[in-house]
Amino acid sequence: MLYPFKDSVPVYDRKEIMNCFNKHFISSGSLFDSLNPVSAKSGTNPPVYTGQPFNFVPFSVQEVCKALKLLDPRKSPGPDLLDPYFLKLAADFVAEPLTTLFNLTLDTNEIPSVWKSAFVIPLLKGGDPAVLTNYRPISNLSVLAKVLEALVCEQLKEFLHTNAILSEYQSGFRKNHSTITAAIRVVNDITIALDKKQHGASLFIDLSKAFDTVVHCILKLRLFQSGLSERAVAWFSNYLSNRSQCIKSDGLCSNFVTVHNGVPQGSVLGPLLFIIYINNLGLNVPDANLHFYADDTVIYSCGSTLVQAIDSLQKAFFAVQHSLLQLKLVLNADKTKLMLFSKSRNLAQIIPSVTTLEGNKIELVHTYKYLGILIDNSLTFKPHVENLVKNLKLKLRFYFQNKLCFSFNTKKRLVAATFLPVLDYGDILYMNASAQCLRMVDSVYHASLRFITNRKFQTHHCELYSQVGWPALVSRRNSHLYSFIYKAILGLLPSYICSLLAMKHAGRYSLRPHGYLLLSVPLARTELGKRAFVNLAPSAWNKLQKDWKMTEFISLSAFRSKLRILEAKSIICNCFN
């Protein structure tokens, strides 16, 4: 049983424990004010949108019905006590009255109070379970509120996309964007700099309770500056006001408490509102690049010397910190890390430190987990592969201990659901690791195939591929890379990825034969430079076209069908030919 402390005295009453949790989570919203008793100076406001303002369009019955049918029936009811399973079943019957209800909220700018309340479940992140800061709040909102938010979110996203309002380098919660596209762009830029004999410095910024500390009055101003009409901002003002939450566990509930700051975690609109809130964080940042994935922010700069790169990074960091103060967001200096990238062997020089506005030094690290990818300062991806293999071996140990409980098909589904996604994540980044590292990944993959097939350790890997019907990992990685490249060619990835690739145009002196779809390969000076996405992608694509000889674009689904045929051919053993 968990016994948190209240005024240094352990608490034993279950309801009082839940009230302690609720008070702790609510207090996160005033974190900035508790750390900064003097109000932050308001800085230069971002440019105000001058186009046609955003206004809500009434929802149609078809839109509401579709949103209801997309509900996850496995989710538990929220404070409205409506089960999403039954709402999904009754979508065709309840869509019309719910459409009237949802449109009424747009007309009156009034949202029912139960739709603005949440059941919160504390989730232990790790560490001492008696310490409240070791818990993350998981919110369960009313199901009808989520349906309404989904409809509003679609309209707002369309407006932001059409008018190019969001920062180009914000990858969080946006269509065609992902953690992988963000990581590829950052790694690509640093790799290109090293290839040009430059030096790089990056700062991985961590914010404390970022979503919880959003100030509503600042958010409403940001919404107006982003192009929302006064009427639309009034709806969001009502959406944010008088929100409440309680802790619910084992059938008991704490008291409901009003939430004064923050965007609702677990909501559909929350992440989008946060992105709008920090959208101009990169304004007036000199001589450095920024990339965002929601609140995960990295600043990186390059220079002819390491000192120059760090100096540029420090100036950019100061500018970002001033913007954070204006937004009343709290920098977590302890978890913010500095990493240096250099091919120079003589780093014995005195390297200047990077500091916060208060003068605290940022810790220098050699590896950092950025968006789930362990990046090392040599860009070898060896730490990532080693950690990947370690985690997969733990899974395998459990699999083999219970292998007699599962049939062949069950084991195959188990590995496909829990093992392959771990292998696949970031594979087009870590595919640049050394052959020795990739053999470690192959080894654990082959072990998973032996678990499925019940074959002995000495079984040749090609027999395992054939029996399970899965290709080698190198074929799997290449398929993911080809698919990623083709999506970029079709413009289905962020512009910061698509801009890295250029088609090779046929000309008088062109080497492009018969009008095949080839990409221009930039000059790379080093082996490391050849592994940058801007070089690796066109080289891999042109190699593929030697066999495929594509002369015109096809649909993405047709392209993936061709890749599946290529994977199927790779299952056939050619090791002894």
Give 257-291 pLDDT, tens digit per residue. Answer: 888 889 988 899 999 999 999 999 988 888 899 99
> How many separate domains does the chain show?
4
Which of 357, 376, 395 is at the close of a domain?
376
12 and 135 share one domain: yes
Which of 443, 557, 542, 544 lies closest to 501, judged by CA? 542
- Is residue 4 predicted with pLDDT exceeding 90? no
Which of 11, 466, 460, 9 lies closest to 1, judged by CA? 11
195 and 104 share one domain: no
99 and 162 share one domain: yes
Which domain range does residue 127 map to?
A: 5-166+217-255
Given a contact cutoff of 8 angstroms between Cβ atoms, the answer to whether 224 and 319 are in contact is no
480 and 440 share one domain: no
Average pLDDT over the chain, rounded to an integer: 89
76 and 14 share one domain: yes
pLDDT for 508: 42
199 and 229 share one domain: no
362 and 442 share one domain: no
Give 491-514 pLDDT, tens digit per residue. Answer: 999 999 999 999 887 544 444 455
535 and 563 share one domain: yes
Give 314-326 as a DSSP string: HHHHHHHHHHHHH
Give 406-450 pLDDT, tens digit per residue. Answer: 999 999 999 999 999 999 999 999 999 999 999 999 999 999 999
361 and 400 share one domain: no
Determine the 3-state secondary structure of 57 from DSSP. coil
466 and 480 share one domain: no
**Residue 270 belongs to some domain of the structure:** no
Give 524-544 pLDDT, tens digit per residue. Answer: 999 999 999 999 999 999 999
Which of 376, 410, 436 is at the close of a domain?
376
457 and 491 share one domain: no
pLDDT band of residue 46 (cuts 50, 70, 90) is low
**Residue 172 belongs to some domain of the structure:** no
Question: Dihedral angle at the C-alpha atoms of 297, 211, 334, 281, nearest 10 degrees?
Answer: 40
Which of 442, 470, 498 is at the close of a domain?
470
**H helix or E strand, kind and range, residue 419:** none
**Residue 291 belongs to some domain of the structure:** yes
C-alpha span between 425 and 184 (Å, rounded): 12
Residue 371's domain is classified under what CATH number?
A: 3.30.70
**Residue 520 belongs to some domain of the structure:** yes
pLDDT band of residue 574 (cuts 50, 70, 90) is low
**Residue 155 belongs to some domain of the structure:** yes
Given a contact cutoff of 8 angstroms between Cβ atoms, the answer to whether 326 and 40 are in contact is yes
C-alpha span between 270 and 479 (Å, rounded): 35
451 and 508 share one domain: no
